[in-house]
């Protein structure tokens, strides 16, 4: 009997034993820096002609690993391997597939500190953020294993005299999994495990900034017993996935998490029928946001402050759910801005391998340049009251100070465009109604939060605020699997809800069978 799903507890890093384990894991992972990693196609380790490196964004010249730069040749091998293995994997029992996920969850628990340490180095997560990423990956494995079993059960149908009727959920085929670098284990694991536990086979193309943690995910799945060719690990340029694999006539679906620009290109390319293609490709896309927190004049300001700080500056603001627009009622505007600036100024910046550092680096040189460019734009669009500069550590890694602009227009670029960095635009609202209008005034609709003690306003906010994940009197980041099914509206994605009870349906198709008695 599989027990009911519960979320994986986070590690308590106030305990000396956990601090010791984390430091040991960081040292262990560091010993493997510079190692070369192969492609894994149909269980075979394959090298490509060209290579690329994974770097530590906190020490930008430090090479974590050397990876294969796959070409269309290797991509074709991966598609064919997945296609061949699908004919076997699709007929595995759901319980067999679910047990592989449950075993993988247990392996992740045993390797938890190593996985945490890998993300600290590879994408610049602090200890808490890295541990939460690993915990979420475990949650996805546990939750989707149970959900797959639920989908495989007898489905309720209206009885009809003289017939025996059934509805079966069956897999789609070969999918392309294109995860992001910002949740390089959790989201990768969630999309991949959802696809394979439902009987599909996949080509996994990790982000070029986070191939190492993806390789360790492959190690976990292989140890858990995933058959060869069910997950094919293909590193290399984004164009391999975004063009060749998405366009391939044998690709049945694409699961993507990343930028709006890339997501829309995938949707467009997947919509073009290729010679030999006999289905309409399904796209499951999550594409970011321009998320808000509203501070009402009847909010508990002391309670709201840590929620804003965590939402805006957790993982350097590099979450699709991060608060980048803070909308404050004019009655409490000056008071809350002072509280915010004073607190944000105390945030400790530095290499996240050291526990005391909260704010690490942004992911790479392109991100650094883009964020600094938006800061220059922000200086023309609002009043800079904190930050606005690269950190003193910027020569070593991609560090940017926590930045706050106040008196920003709702139409300003820094209030409309996704920046994906530690930059917060603060907007003054005349009243509750204007705050709602400002919050809804972007092309996105992913997350938002509303702080108020007024129950009538809360009820109105629940009705009127248009986003996929709305939080009342808490931060707008930190969705938990099974608790807060995650996914947004408008240009934030295709309305899929990761970690929710309808998510696996996106990787399945329903077959109705009727037999006359």
DSSP code string of 308-363: HHHHHHGGGG-STT-EEEEEEETTTHHHHHHHHHHHHTTPPBS-TTSTT--B---S
Q: Determine how β-strand 50-56 pairs with β-strand 447-451.
A: unpaired
Q: Is residue 251 within 8 Å of residue 272, measured between CB atoms?
A: no
User: In whole angstroms, what is the distance from residue 307 CA to residue 257 CA?
Assistant: 25
Burial 191-211 (b: 16+ CB within 10 A, else e): bbbbbbbbbbbbbbbbbbbbb
Rounded to 10 degrees, what is the CA torsion of 228, 80, 202, 47?
Answer: 70
What are the strands of the beta sheet with 469-472, ordered from one edge? 383-386, 403-406, 423-429, 323-329, 291-295, 447-451, 469-472
Active site (catalytic) residues: 286, 320
Q: For residue 450, which of 442, 441, 467 has the smallest C-alpha distance?
A: 467
Give me the residues paired with residue 359 across strands.
349
Q: Is residue 511 within 8 Å of residue 167, measured between CB atoms?
A: yes
User: In whole angstroms, what is the distance from residue 142 CA to residue 136 CA?
Assistant: 10
Q: Determine how β-strand 291-295 pairs with β-strand 323-329.
A: parallel
User: In whole angstroms, what is the distance from residue 253 CA to residue 237 CA?
Assistant: 20
User: In whole angstroms, what is the distance from residue 254 CA to residue 266 CA?
Assistant: 8
Distances (CA, A) of 166 to 92, 94, 463, 474, 513: 19, 17, 38, 44, 5
Taking the alpha carbons of 125, 147, 491, 484 in that order, is the dihedral positive or negative?
negative
User: In whole angstroms, what is the distance from residue 466 CA to residue 446 CA?
Assistant: 8
Residue 395: how many other CB atoms lie within 10 Å: 9
User: In whole angstroms, what is the distance from residue 188 CA to residue 184 CA?
Assistant: 6
Residue 319: how many other CB atoms lie within 10 Å: 26
């Amino acid at each position: 009997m599989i027990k009911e799903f519960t979320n994986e507890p986070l590690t308590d890093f106030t305990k000396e034993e956990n601090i010791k384990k984390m430091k040991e894991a960081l040292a262990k992972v560091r010993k493997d820096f510079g190692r070369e990693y192969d492609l894994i196609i149909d269980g075979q380790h394959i090298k490509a002609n060209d290579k690329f490196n994974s770097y530590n964004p906190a020490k930008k010249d430090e090479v974590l690993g050397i990876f294969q730069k796959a070409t269309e040749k290797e991509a074709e091998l991966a598609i064919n391997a997945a296609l061949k293995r699908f004919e076997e994997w699709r007929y595995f029992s759901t319980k067999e597939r679910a047990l592989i996920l449950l075993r993988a969850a247990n392996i992740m628990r045993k390797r938890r500190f190593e996985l945490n340490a890998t993300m600290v180095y590879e994408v610049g997560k602090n200890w808490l953020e890295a541990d939460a990423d690993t915990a979420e990956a475990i949650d996805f494995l546990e939750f989707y294993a149970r959900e797959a079993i639920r989908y495989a059960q007898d489905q309720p149908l209206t009885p009809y005299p003289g017939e025996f009727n059934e509805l079966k959920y069956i897999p789609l085929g070969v999918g392309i999994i294109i995860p992001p670098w910002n949740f390089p284990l959790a989201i990768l694991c969630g999309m991949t495990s959802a696809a394979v536990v439902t009987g599909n086979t996949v080509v996994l193309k990790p982000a070029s900034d986070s191939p190492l943690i993806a390789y360790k995910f492959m190690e976990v799945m292989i140890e858990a017993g995933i058959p060869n060719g069910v997950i094919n690990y293909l590193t290399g340029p984004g164009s391999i996935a975004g063009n060749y694999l998405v366009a391939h006539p044998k690709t049945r679906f694409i699961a993507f998490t990343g930028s709006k620009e890339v997501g829309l290109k995938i949707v467009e390319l997947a919509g073009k029928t290729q010679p030999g293609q006999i289905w309409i490709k399904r796209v499951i896309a999550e594409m970011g946001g321009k998320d808000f927190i509203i501070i009402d004049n009847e909010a508990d300001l002391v309670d709201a402050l840590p929620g804003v700080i965590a939402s805006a500056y957790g993982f350097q603001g590099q979450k699709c759910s991060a608060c980048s627009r803070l909308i404050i009622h004019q009655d409490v505007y000056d008071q809350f801005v002072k509280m915010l600036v004073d607190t944000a100024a105390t945030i400790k910046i530095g290499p996240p391998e050291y526990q005391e550092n909260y704010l690490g680096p942004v992911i790479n040189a392109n991100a650094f340049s883009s964020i600094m460019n938006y800061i220059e734009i922000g200086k023309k669009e609002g009043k800079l009251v904190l930050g606005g500069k690269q950190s003193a550590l910027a020569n070593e890694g991609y560090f940017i100070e926590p930045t706050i602009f106040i008196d920003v227009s709702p139409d300003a670029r820094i209030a409309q465009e996704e920046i994906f960095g530690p930059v917060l635009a603060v907007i003054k609202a005349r009243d509750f109604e204007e705050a709602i209008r400002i919050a809804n005034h972007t092309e996105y609709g992913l997350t938002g939060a509303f702080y108020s003690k007024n129950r009538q306003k809360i009820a109105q906010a629940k009705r009127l605020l248009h986003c996929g994940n709305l939080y009342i009197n808490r931060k707008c980041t930190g969705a938990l699997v099974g608790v807060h099914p995650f996914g947004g509206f408008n240009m934030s994605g295709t309305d899929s809800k990761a970690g929710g009870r309808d998510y696996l349906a996106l990787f399945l198709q329903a077959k109705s069978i009727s037999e006359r008695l």
